[in-house]
Amino acid sequence: MTNQPIPDLTAFDEAALDKAFAQLEQEARQAASGLNDEAAVEAFRLEWLGRKQGRLNEVSGRWLKAAPVEAKKALGVRFNSLKAVVEALLDAALGSGPSDASLKAEALDITLPGTQRLVGAEHPITRTLNEIVSVFAALGYSVGVGPEVETDFYNFESMNFPPGHPARDTQDTLVVANQERRSQRDRLLLRTHTSPVQMRTMEQQPPPVRIVIPGKVHRNDAADATHSPIFHQVEGLCVDTNITFSDLKGTLDHAMKALFGSAVKTRFFPSFFPFTEPSADVQISCIYCGGKGCRKCKQSGWIELLGCGMVDPAVFAFAAEKQPAYDPKEISGFAFGMGVERIAMMKYGISEIGSFYSGDMRFLGQFV
């Protein structure tokens, strides 16, 4: 390495510039002739092309800046030529490059298959739940959420299931242990429906209210082909002035057509739910046979799918304790609820509800 300082230029005429740059080029060629390993090549690069202490950087700082205006162009042309020579010398030194053995060791076989990333997909229950919610979202409904561990008050009492009411037997549930010291309404249990979110929403928000409530629920049911102790529901609540049963029928008829096709028909039969009065079960024309009658619909042409009704004034009375605007004399509303698994089984032709929870990738792979 030269390590010679860059001299100051005292003259900037053509001859003086030619002499000065010729001297630097000679030094560069002499230094490049002795490069025999990677360390020497890197040292050469830093000495001549380094950003802070490189010789060309020093030339630029000392000669170009000190040159009079009329000499800057000629000096710049020679500077660029010298830089090109140094870079060419460096490229030539690097050209010796790594050995064939090292190149072979680093070779990449581009014919090998790449790493395959598996594409995920929504679980059929999640997909169906989101589809149901999107139908009602298009009608202006917002989404309500609430805890899965509820109090007896919100799960039963506020929904017009007073203690000892026989309707509680149909929603036998799982209760948190060791709560004997708590009052009945404060005892904790796993919610049997998403209805508690209706009451929580009404307590926090005055009418009008339009919400759908998707979520997981729990009941002490024996597992079979169509029942599970854990399943999912989507419930809905609409409260405003002058809400009628006709509004309920029109809303659910539209929703069923959106989910199963415009050819589907709906019909309503009287039923009983403690939190609605009047109450109804909703049937749709069989999506398998078009209403002609088949094994799926037990030759009736109809399939029962969900329950609904007008909100019972007793439920509004509970809400009015915290939100006086829910005066049953001034407002009305309807509610409905449907099982997500049941709809998913119909949409995808699944006969065993347990298939949803088995974790069998052969089954779930159908929905990718």
Q: Where are the alpha helices (DSSP H) in the chain?
A: 14-32, 38-49, 55-59, 65-66, 69-95, 100-105, 124-137, 152-155, 196-204, 245-260, 313-320, 340-348, 361-364
DSSP per-residue codes, 42-89: HHHHHHHH-TTT-HHHHHIIIIIHHS-HHHHHHHHHHHHHHHHHHHHH
Strands (E) across 245-345 are located at 266-273, 276-285, 302-311, 332-339
Q: Which residue has the tokens 């510039």?
A: 17
Domain layout of the chain by residue ranges = 14-105, 124-367
Q: Which two tokens stand for residue 112?
A: 């090998």
Q: List the chain pLDDT tens, one digit each, 368 residues.
A: 555 778 888 888 888 888 889 988 888 888 888 888 888 888 888 888 888 788 888 888 888 888 888 888 888 898 899 889 988 888 888 765 555 555 566 677 788 887 877 777 889 999 999 999 999 999 999 999 999 999 999 999 999 888 877 777 777 788 889 888 888 889 999 999 999 999 999 999 999 999 999 999 998 888 888 888 899 999 999 999 999 999 999 999 999 999 999 999 999 999 999 999 999 999 999 988 888 888 888 889 999 999 999 999 999 999 999 999 999 999 999 999 999 999 999 888 888 888 898 888 888 888 87
Looking at the domain 124-367, which fold is it?
Answer: BirA Bifunctional Protein; domain 2 (3.30.930)
Contacts of 216 (CB under 8 A, 6+ apart): 148, 230, 231, 232
Q: Which of 263, 288, 303 is nearest to 349 (CA)?
A: 288
Strand-strand pairing, 142-143 and 209-218:
parallel
> Is the separation of the CB atoms in 138 and 128 below 8 Å?
no
Distance CA 156, CA 88 (A): 86
